[in-house]
Every structure is written in C-alpha cells, then in structure tokens.
Structure 1
Amino acid sequence: MPNTIKRKITLKLNKLQKCLTGIKGFDEITEGGLPKNRTTLISGGAGSGKTLFGIDFLINGAINYKEHGVFMSFEETADELFKDVASLNLDLKVLVSQKKIVLEHVVLERKDIQEKDFNLEGLLIRLEHAIESVNAKRVVLDSIESLFAGITDNGILRLEIKRLFGWLKEKQVTAIVTGEPGQDSYTHHGMEQYISDCIILLDNRVDEEVSVRRIRVVKYRGSNHGTNEYPFVIDDDGLSVIPITSAGLNQPGTAKRVSTGISSLDKLFKGVGYTKGSTILASGTAGTGKTSLAAAFAIETCKRGERCLFLSYEESAGQLIQNMKSIGFNFEPLIKKGLLKIASTRPTFVGLEKHLLDLYKTIDGFKPKSVVIDPLTSLIGEGSPREVRSMITRMIDVLKTQGITGFFTSLVSSTAQNDTSGEIGVSSLIDTWIVVRELEEKVGKKRIRGLYIVKSRGTGHSSDVHKLILSDDGISLEPMEADSTSTPDPKKKVGSGIAKKSKKINKST
C-alpha cells in the first residue's frame, strides 16, 4: 500500500469525532459541533446565556439526535429551570417527563466543599446513576464554580478537576461545564481552561445603548474552527448563531429574467427585466417613488403565482396597503391568497442580528421567491458602518444562495453631492442599480421625477434619463426631451447618467 494512502487512512481514523449541538449556526463555526465524549467549558458572565446553551444542547440531542441527557445544577432547582425556559419554545418539562432528560439539583453544604473534607465520590455516584437511568450521552454541569468554591490549593484543585473530566471521558459522554470568567482567565479558578478540550466564550455587552451578544471559540483541541467573534441571539427557539458569516461567492449564474412589473421599465432592460435571483437597489431622495417601484415588483411576483415577502421599516402594513392604492396597486387580494406577506417593524426595536435572524426564519417559513426591503438605510443607526455593511452583505448572501430576487430601496439625503446608494454604500454588492431623482423642468419650472439605470450586470440596459410618472393607473416611464430639465440645485451633480444623456445601450458585466 502506498505511503500516501496509508497517511490518508491514518488521518481519517485519527480525526476527532464531533457531537452536533443542533444550535443554529454554531455547528458550522465549529465544523461539526463539540468534541464527542470530551469536556467543553462554556465561559461567560451573568446573563450571557451559559445555562441556556447547555439546556439547548440537551434538548436538541434528545429531539434531533436521539441522545438522552443529564443536567446537573448546583444553583437552580428543576422548577426554577422550567420557569427559566417557560417563555421559550423549548419542551424541557415534557422531555423530563418522558425520561429523555434528567434534571439533578445538588445542594452543596459548606462541609461538602471544604478543602480538607472535599470528596467527589458522592457526586460521581449520583451522576453515574442519573446517566445510567436514561442511558445519557450528553451531560451538563452548571456551574463548576459552585462545585470547587472551597478549594484554594491549586495542586488539589487541578487534580480534582482533572479527575472529574477524566471520569466523564470514561463514561463516554459529551460534557459541558459552565463557568464565570475571572481576572485574566475564563473561570474564577483558572484551571479548567487548561484541562478542557474546548472553550467557548459567551459575552453580553452594551455598545451605544444597544445590547449585543457575541460568541467565540477560544480553544478546540484537534480541530479547525472559526476564531472570530460571532453575533448570536436568544429568541423563542433558544440560542441561534445566525448567520455566522457570509456564505461566500459561490452562487450559480442564471440567464432567467423576471419582469420589473412596469412594462416601460422592462423596455429599458431590452424588454427582459431583472435577472432572477439577483439584487436590485432603487436609491433616491424622499418622495421620488422608490417604494412604488418596489411595490410594482412585488405585485408582479405574485402575478406569476410566486410568493413575495415585503419588509417595511418605515410604514405599517395598513399604511403601506392604503398608500399603494393611490397608484392603483391593491395588496389585499394578494395577502388573502397567501402570495404576499408584509412584515413591518421599527429598526430600533431589536438589534441588527435579530433583524437578520427574523429574516432567516420568515424566509424559511414563508418560502418567498422575492424579498423587498424598504428601506435599507433605516438600519444605519443600529450599528457601526462596519456592522451594518456586514449585516447587509450576509442578508444578500442568504437571498442569493436560495435563488431569491431581492429588491432594496435606499434613501439618499437631499444634500448629497452625488447619486450614491445612500449612507450605507452597498452599490458594489448590487447587481442592478436604479437611481430616482427629483428634477426641474427648464420650461415652466415644474418639478418632475427622473429615473435612470446606473448598472445592471449581465443585462443590456439603457442609460438615458426617463421621466417617472405615478398616476391612478400605476407607474410609467417616458423619454426625457433633450435639455428639458435641470437639477433643483446647480451646485449638485446629478451623475454621469443625466449629465451625458447617453443614448447608447450599455452592457455591465
């Protein structure tokens, strides 16, 4: 047998086995979950989600992987744990009654944790009985600080922790122990971090009055893993690290096209409309018709019998429905048929990651073929420019990986010096970019709306400025007469599309 094949077989045999946690996103950053039949330390301050991580791990194991579990608590009783997860969609009480999870509350007396009388035998016997009673494959100890609180001698402490971790390994269980970070260490004792095979750090911080949760894999023996800090949220379904990072540039290309919902706008794309599964951005100042363009696209999606999700960050569903009636767009029949779903929320209500998680869940449940987000710029104040851009990049990734056509609107300040995609600056991530602006006719000094296409990757398109008309019958575009308009402020530049008024058909690639 060649040496290369021998090496490959040896590597395969020696590859670390992993235990899937079932926690959304976490198994991806750890490339398969926690180290199987080994001990993981979950470190974090008060309210960071340590206990919930452990409970989630056990519940997912019992429901999804047919692995029963034991939760041994040194601080909370079973009733207190039931109350902790009562507001979440976690069936802890049911699983305990079905004997798939065992809850053990250990009351530690002062004499039990004194250094001279310290003995783990009684605890190990109780833990062994709990494991055998349900043939458990997963164990959570919450928290290790309480168990070793009375030991001050580092030598004894290290031996006892090593003894506990070794015992758990002998029992062939995947174990989690929780701890609180101390000064310059991941636990108060500082010994567990050296003996643990894996260390997960949870953090709940407040940045500019916004609470943000982060998770980081500090250590993982024998395995590759993501080393960055990753945002996570706790919602009705437990803990979710979603999305973890950008999905990457691996989306397949397509030649399929979908209508814009406006026949005269389709003609500007050589009559074929937007690329299916691409991203479209309509940017402009207030009142220029960005939401109306998005509404036309949403209705056209529904006309094809496909579902469309409309996320509104500025108007309630009722306001949006009423406002769109003024240009002949009736959302109500489409909503009743289940083809259109309008979700309205204030951007300040939750953090960026919660917005993104809600989008994931809604897409997963509703299965839309198109998603409208109006406007993206409402998210600016909910994080730093880097965080906002990262969130939008991941948002675009999730749409593209599922072949969903995304339509975004972006509000541009009326004092902007150039036609940009707004304060977010995501035009480079967009496949088709449409700019709508308020212009002023030279004759009569009447203000009108103008529209032109900045780019459309892979599609021939006109770069001429067209008059955008909103009426009772919907939306239409008309060619602009040469030298008939000027910008409201001569100090502002409208952009190359208006200044040059090129009549050529461009192809962007």
Structure 2
Amino acid sequence: MAQGSTSASERARRSSAARRGAQTAATGIQGLDFILDGGLPEGQPTLLRGGPGAGKTAIALTFFCHGLEQGEPSVLATFDESPEALTRHAHALGFPLDEHLAAGRGRILDMRPDRSELVSGGEVELTALLARIGYALDALGARRLVVDAIDGMDESFAPGNSLRAELTRVFDWIRERDATTLITSGEHSGFSERFGLEDYIADCVILLRQEVRYRRMTRLLRILKRRGGGHGTNEFPFLLDHEGVFLSPITGTRLEARPSSERHTTGVEGLDAMLGGGGPYRGSAVMVSGQSGTGKTSFAAAFAAAACRAGDSVLYLSFEEATEELLRNQRSVGLDLASCIDSGRLVLEPLLAVELGWEEHLLRVMRSVQGQAPGVVVLDPASALGDPHDDRQGKEMLLRLFYMLKREGVTVLATELLPDYSDGVSNMDVSSIIDVWIKLRRDERDGRLCRLLNVVKARGLPTSDRVLEYYLSGDGVHVANGAETGGAS
C-alpha cells in the first residue's frame, strides 16, 4: 500500500471510534476492567489469545454471561466446543447460562466447520458465516458478541486462501455492525507468521499464558494493545476456579493509604502499655516475628479476639493449622475463638501454603478480602507465603499484599517464623511497610525457658525501649512490667 493511503479497515475503525468516543463495555471481571480503563472498547473487535488451558473460554463466557445478567442481549458463535459443552462450562463458573438462553436473552451459534454446508467451489464461504451471525444479532437486537476459537476454522480454507487473509473482512464487518466483540484464538507455533496480522488489525489484544515455576503453575494476562484508551502495561496473574475468573492488579506507582487516629487493642494488656497505652492504629500493618514456640499464633489470636469483641469483622487466614486445631490450641491460653465465629465476626480460612504458588496466594487472599470486606486481616504465618526458591519474589508479594490491604483501610497483623539459625534477623525483609514490629525470642535462664519481647518500631506511637518477659498461661498472654514504657519513638 502506498505511503499516505488509508485502508478501508482503518477508515472504518476511525469512523466507529469517532462515533463512540472512549466508551467501554464491562467484562464482568473487575480487575480486567480496571486495567482496561473501563472494559473492552465498544463497537470494536478485541482479540484474546493464548495456549491451551490459559483461560480464553472462561474469560469469553464471563464476558458473554455478564452481558446477559446486565440485560444486554448477546450472541456467542463457537468454532470449537458444542453449545452444550459451553453451557456446562458456564455453570462450572457459576453462571446459569441455560436459564438466560431459555428466556431468549442470548443465543449460542454452533459454527463448527462443516465443509458439506460451508464450502462452495473449494473455499469456505465466509459471507455465509457472517450473515448467520448478523441475523442472530438482529433478531435479538444484540451488540455484544463472542467469537470463540475462530482459529478452529483455519483448516477449512482452501490452500489458496487462509483465515489470515479473511480476518480483515471479519474485523471490518464487526466495526460496521458496531458490535462489541471478543474473539478468542489459540497460540500456535509460528504464530506471527501464520496469524500475526490479527494483532495489527484488532483494536485491542489481550495475551494469556501459563508459567510453571518449581512445578507450580500461574496464569498470567497482559494487554498488548488498546486503541483509543489507556491500559495497564504489566503482566498480571489471575485465578480461574469454581468461583470464576479473578484478576487483581498488583502494581501501582502511587503510595496511598487511609490514615486513622483510632487504635486497636492488641488483646494483651502489657503489650498495649508498651505501645503507649493503646494498640496500633486502624489501617496499619503489624508484624509479630519470633522463633518456633514463642507464641506468635497466640498473640495473633489474642489480637483477633479483641477485635471481634470491639465489633470488628476479622478474616483469619491460617497457613499451618486447620480450623479445629487452631481453636483447640488457643483454648489452652484462655482464648475462645469459637464464640467469635458463632457471633459472625470471625471467619477462619485455613489454606495449605505449600500447594499454591505465591501469586495464587496473593490473589486468593485479595479475593477473600474483597468478598468479605473485613476490618482486620490476620496472616498466620505470613512467612509461609514467601517463595522458598526466590526470596525476591516472596518479598515482592508480601509488600504488595500489605500495601493493598493498607490502601483499603484494613488492619493487617502478620506473624513471621524466624529460623533458629537466623539469630533474630528477619528473612522477609518487609520492614519498610510495617508500622508496628514486635519481636519475640526464647532464652534460657537458671534452668528455665524464658520468653522475651521487644517493640522494634511503632510509627507514630510512644513505645517502650525495654526487653520484657512474657508468659503464656491458661488465662491468656501476659507481659511482665508492661506498664513501664520507658521511652518514645
């Protein structure tokens, strides 16, 4: 094409964009809409591509079903799986798709290639396919369209023709119809040579991939391009399970928080005294570090129980103890967490840390926080979330997690297991974002085990500079001489 000339597809794209401005259509995935600056570009084709199992169909079904739930008539054309299979997949994601279809709000077109019907003179009649889709759009008055696995019809074209050569027609047709369209395509070997044109003619391109590190798999999403609007430029992990698709952007350039002058009690009277007569500020990050056997979980449980008594909702994420085990063990120090659960203020969620990658842990925690909107989150122990194979990634994950909780105004208390060989040095290296840091340690004196406590830092609070002994008994955690603060930070 001569320099300075404009193709028909480009003219159609510009005309469509000028009519709509920067309007978007929500996908139903909050995190994806956020990094897309509102959602998919309205009236334009978006290409979603990735390898097997990357989550293409799940995201496409979420976009399709979200439109139906919002009262938008929608059409899905499938070139791979049967309509029955897609309906089952939607149910697995929590969408009653069959009810929407029975009510006539949406339609699934089975477009799987059948050469006996679609081939004339040795070539697929693309016009017939588009006419069928257009008829369904007109019949429903729909502007939301999903074309799933369009690359599945590539082999149906004669050698002299190809899907790549016809894609410009498809994308132009979508713009002329002013249909907000999500098109999925697989990731093939030599993709750039065979299908690379798709990335250029689509108005928005979303890439999915799977990453396997140390035998743990993480799904990742990246926005390659988006014409006419901004978008997140990083690679974002996302969850795909029985609760659907969950993506939470975990990067940012601005440090924001919701400072409060209100304070929590720690549930340990002597520790409150070491913090100037009260506990940490609401919305702050607290870390309790210590070796095995120092009672870190008892401090965390005391904090959670005190927050429940004060009327706060608490999400307690336990990465090493099951629910019944944690309840039993804390009864030995006089803490009745079961009554907190019965009151509805405490939610205990045990998660097995070794089974999940660090990105998936982050997303599961954030999904729990968003779903339950607690005032307090306990991570016990947060050190279990770190990646033992990559200290840098573990640190990054925890920094992002603490920041995201603080940004939402949630108070977070995390416990950290210090190895015996660490000599009291933290391996997590996240002290920069911690507001209150309490260290616990063991010592032997005159043939008895002593437990010692000191406050390393407490931003904005008067704190004790003393190292004090504490003990665990049947009626709680007690700090000896805790009323003597002895200094200020």
Return the TM-score normalized by structure 1: 0.87
Distance 1:389 1:184, change over 3 A: farther
Matched position secondary structure for 2:432:
helix
Q: Which amino acid aligns with 1:174?
A: T
Offset, 1:158: 5.1
Distance 1:144 1:115, change over 3 A: farther
Distance 1:12 1:476, change over 3 A: farther
Q: 1:377 aligns with which of 371, 376, 383?
A: 383
Distance 1:129 1:81, change over 3 A: same
CA distance in 1, matches of 2:231, 2:181: 19
CA distance in 2, matches of 1:180, 1:115: 28
For residue 175 of structure 2, what is the aligned residue in structure 1? 169
For residue 303 of structure 1, what is the aligned residue in structure 2? 309
In the alignment, structure 1 residue 87 sits paired with structure 2 residue 89:
no
For residue 432 of structure 2, what is the aligned residue in structure 1? 428
- Structure 2 stretches lacking a partner, 5+ long: 1-16
In the alignment, structure 1 residue 26 sits paired with structure 2 residue 50:
no
Offset, 1:187: 8.1
Q: 1:67 aligns with which of 66, 72, 82?
A: 72
Distance 1:382 1:238, change over 3 A: farther
CA distance in 2, matches of 1:12, 1:439: 73
Q: 1:101 aligns with which of 106, 128, 140?
A: 106
Distance 1:258 1:156, change over 3 A: closer
Q: Is the 8 A contact 1:161 1:192 kept in 2?
A: yes
Which is bigger in relative contact order (C-alpha 8 A, separation at least 6)? 2
Q: 2:143 aligns with which of 137, 142, 154?
A: 137
Instruction: State the Cα RMSD in Å.
Output: 2.5
Distance 1:154 1:291, change over 3 A: farther
Q: Is the 8 A contact 1:180 1:188 kept in 2?
A: no
Offset, 1:207: 1.4
CA distance in 2, matches of 1:71, 1:382: 44
Offset, 1:294: 0.8
Offset, 1:321: 1.0
Offset, 1:137: 1.3
Q: 1:322 aligns with which of 310, 328, 343?
A: 328
Distance 1:115 1:506, change over 3 A: farther
Offset, 1:13: 8.4
CA distance in 2, matches of 1:159, 1:27: 31
CA distance in 2, matches of 1:29, 1:297: 36
For residue 214 of structure 2, what is the aligned residue in structure 1? 208
CA distance in 1, matches of 2:477, 2:209: 49
Distance 1:154 1:177, change over 3 A: farther
Q: Is the 8 A contact 1:314 1:375 kept in 2?
A: yes
Distance 1:187 1:359, change over 3 A: farther
Offset, 1:227: 1.6
Equivalent residue runs for 1:232-271 within 5 Å: 232-246=238-252, 248-271=254-277
CA distance in 2, matches of 1:292, 1:198: 51
In the alignment, structure 1 residue 505 sits paired with structure 2 residue 487:
yes
CA distance in 1, matches of 2:205, 2:175: 16
Q: Is the 8 A contact 1:352 1:388 kept in 2?
A: yes
Offset, 1:44: 0.6
Distance 1:396 1:246, change over 3 A: farther
For residue 454 of structure 1, what is the aligned residue in structure 2? 456
Matched position secondary structure for 2:420:
coil
Offset, 1:186: 5.6
Residues 32-73 of structure 1 deviation map (CA, whole Å, 9 limit, x = unaligned): 111110111111111111111111111112213x32211101
Matched position secondary structure for 2:178:
coil
Q: Which amino acid aligns with 1:471?
A: S
Q: 1:473 aligns with which of 433, 458, 475?
A: 475
Matched position secondary structure for 1:462:
coil
Distance 1:156 1:506, change over 3 A: same
Distance 1:22 1:228, change over 3 A: same
Offset, 1:185: 3.1
CA distance in 2, matches of 1:159, 1:106: 19
For residue 395 of structure 1, what is the aligned residue in structure 2? 401
CA distance in 2, matches of 1:225, 1:365: 25
Residues 258-285 of structure 1 deviation map (CA, whole Å, 9 limit, x = unaligned): 1111111111111021111101100010
CA distance in 1, matches of 2:87, 2:193: 26
For residue 193 of structure 1, what is the aligned residue in structure 2? 199
Equivalent residue runs for 1:104-183 within 5 Å: 104-110=109-115, 112=118, 116-151=122-157, 157=163, 159-183=165-189
Q: Is the 8 A contact 2:148 2:184 kept in 1?
A: yes
Q: 1:345 aligns with which of 342, 347, 351?
A: 351
Residues 428-471 of structure 1 deviation map (CA, whole Å, 9 limit, x = unaligned): 11100000000222xx2422000000000111101210001111
Q: Is the 8 A contact 1:214 1:232 kept in 2?
A: yes
Equivalent residue runs for 1:40-79 within 5 Å: 40-64=46-70, 66-79=71-84
Matched position secondary structure for 1:428:
coil
For residue 463 of structure 1, what is the aligned residue in structure 2? 465
Matched position secondary structure for 1:86:
helix
Q: Which amino acid aligns with 1:83?
A: R
For residue 10 of structure 2, what is the aligned residue in structure 1? none
Q: Which amino acid aligns with 2:488?
A: N
Offset, 1:113: 5.6
CA distance in 1, matches of 2:277, 2:364: 35
CA distance in 1, matches of 2:463, 2:89: 57
CA distance in 1, matches of 2:23, 2:193: 26
Q: Is the 8 A contact 1:20 1:33 kept in 2?
A: yes
Offset, 1:356: 3.0
Residues 222-274 of structure 1 deviation map (CA, whole Å, 9 limit, x = unaligned): 22211211101112232221244358411132221111111111111110211
- Structure 1 stretches lacking a partner, 5+ long: 1-10, 481-501
CA distance in 2, matches of 1:309, 1:226: 30
Distance 1:354 1:158, change over 3 A: closer
Matched position secondary structure for 2:287:
strand
Q: Is the 8 A contact 1:351 1:382 kept in 2?
A: no
Distance 1:186 1:140, change over 3 A: farther
Residues 397-436 of structure 1 deviation map (CA, whole Å, 9 limit, x = unaligned): 332123221111000000013x333x22212111000000
Return the TM-score normalized by structure 2: 0.90
CA distance in 1, matches of 2:228, 2:135: 31
| Equivalenced residues, count | 471
Offset, 1:156: 6.6
For residue 416 of structure 1, what is the aligned residue in structure 2? 422
Distance 1:158 1:374, change over 3 A: closer
Distance 1:89 1:285, change over 3 A: same
Moved more, 47-56 or 384-393: 384-393
